[in-house]
Amino acid sequence: MLSLKEKDRPIVRKLFDAGCCARCVLRFCCVGTYSSYRQPYEDIHRELFAFIGEENSKSHDASDQGQSEDPPSKRMKIEDNGSLEDSVTPAEPKTVSDICPVCLGVLQHFCDHTYAKQVSDAVKKEQYEFDRLVLTVSLPAQLSVREHSCWLHIKREVREKSMCLGKDDVIQVKDAFKWAVQGKIGQDLGANVLANSAFEVSVGFTHPETDEDCHFLATICPDCFKPTKNKLEPFKLEVPPCFQQGASIFTRMAVVKALEKISDEKFSRHYPCPPKKPETTCTALDTTCLHNSVFIAGRYNKFSRELPQTPWVIDGERRMEGSVEELIAAPLLFSFRADGFNFSSSGREDVDVRTLGNGRPFTMELLNPHRAKFNTTEIRQLQETINQSSDKIRVRDLQIVTREATSRMKEGEEEKTKSYSALIWTHKVISSTDLEFLGNIKDLKIAQKTPLRVLHRRPLAVRQRLIHSMSVSYLDTHHFTLKLCTQAGTYIKEFVHGDFGRTKPNLCDLMKTDADILELDVESVDIDWPPAIPD
């Protein structure tokens, strides 16, 4: 049942002699059948001892389970008067640890129904809605060192048997653990456990007793353990730099990289083979859950001239209540039960600018949603909830999209066109004939320095933009309506008043008079995304 062969017999004995647990024996014998690891520990242990032709003694079984061999025993004591008396004598203190020196107890004590229920109970408490999950496991980096040590311990035996077996053939602790426990977790949660899923359940283990197992590698392979820049300062402040308790430079990837470089001889000089038995087992960390982000797309109209697109905060003080993103986000956060959101749109309008027409495309990333599946009817209801919550905005074409699809909103954004309608005031008296020449201007090239009003949040640069076309409607001697079709990213207000000469040419230059913009509306954002949804 365990798929072992005659050549594995001496390897099994050698691993047991080193104190390895039954599941680690299977791993080093390259047993790759899931069902072997799912068996109760006692059954695996019994089959292995039957395989090597030894009695599955109580002491062996207790040792591998990390339990005392016997409870305090009742012994006979000869009194001075020669009579016999029953007495209870405490068991002798154990001098050898019962914990596996390779997996540090992970495959002994955390592959049963008790731990599986502990994990599933933690997941249920978070109240996610899901029908499939992926189980991820985080193990202490020192397990890689101990596995390497055990591999060197049996390497000679492998060579003597002329076995074609490499270290990479050994089943990883992480895989063996998943094979043993994930079926129990999935059954308890009523969900399929897959290799990939949007819903992730993470378990982890720590083992402070052996944290220093990796430290010798930093002396032999210092290039593998260079701290990142943001971690340099703590290392300078605390002495010594590399060997402090819990130093974060000893990541699993760094340790594996160092083990690939170090020679067997040098490793054996610095670390015992097989590894020493620990006194304590691993400690399980809290189970955590995370659902991949859900992305919502749509278009919004803004009808208010007193509503910013995003919260308006100046010098740490909020100006104006509410924002477009908050009005859209509130119903979505509530329905998806998400932890937060990221809002993005195709450009942005100023607080005093309306967005009309078909609206401005936007996407909203909902972080760690506890509910992720909504049908078309439910999404329509969400859209209606947003629209009924305020008369300042309106949303259309609301839909769930993929992360990849959101990039289409930004692709070639500056090559797209946008249309505007502006109410213009002029200093000098004008007539309708004074405006006719503006309608004849096509593809006017302008150069815009970063406007003074946004210089605090955008880098100083000169941007080349196109005014594709203009049309005018005369109102009175000092006012007219200007309609523009421009390259996306054009600063319309600065094109009108010139921004102290930072935009050239500008409307003031063209009309040879001072002019300013009184009202501005976005009439259309010509991006064919997201797909329109019929009413």
| Residue 189 near residue 123, CB atoms below 8 Å | yes
Tell me if residue 350 is catalytic: yes
The full DSSP string for 281-311 is --EEPPPEEEE--EEEEEEEEE--SS--SS-
The active-site residue, picked from 112, 175, 188, 350, is: 350
Residue 52 CA to residue 58 CA, distance in Å, equals 16
* Partners of 312 in the β-ladder: 319
Where b means 16+ CB within 10 Å and e means fewer, 489-526 reads ebbbbbbbbbbeebbeebbbeebeeebebeebbbbbbe
d(CA 179, CA 302): 53
Amino acid at 71: P
Residue entry with tokens 């970063």: 450
Residues 213-237: b if buried by 16+ CB within 10 A, e if exposed: bbbbbbeebeebbebeeeeeeebee
Please report which residue ranges of 414-526 form alpha helices under DSSP H: 492-497, 507-511
- Residue 408, SS3? helix
* SS3 letters across 172-210: CHHHHHHHHHHHHHHHHHCCEECCCCCEEEEEEEECHHH
Task: Provide the 3-class DSSP secondary structure of residue 515.
Answer: strand
From CA 133, how far away is CA 398, in angstroms rounded? 27
Name the residue with tokens 């500008």: 506
Label the pairing between strands 192-193 and 132-138.
parallel
Q: What's at 321, amino acid-wise?
A: E
- End-to-end CA distance of the chain, in Å? 61
Active site residues: 350
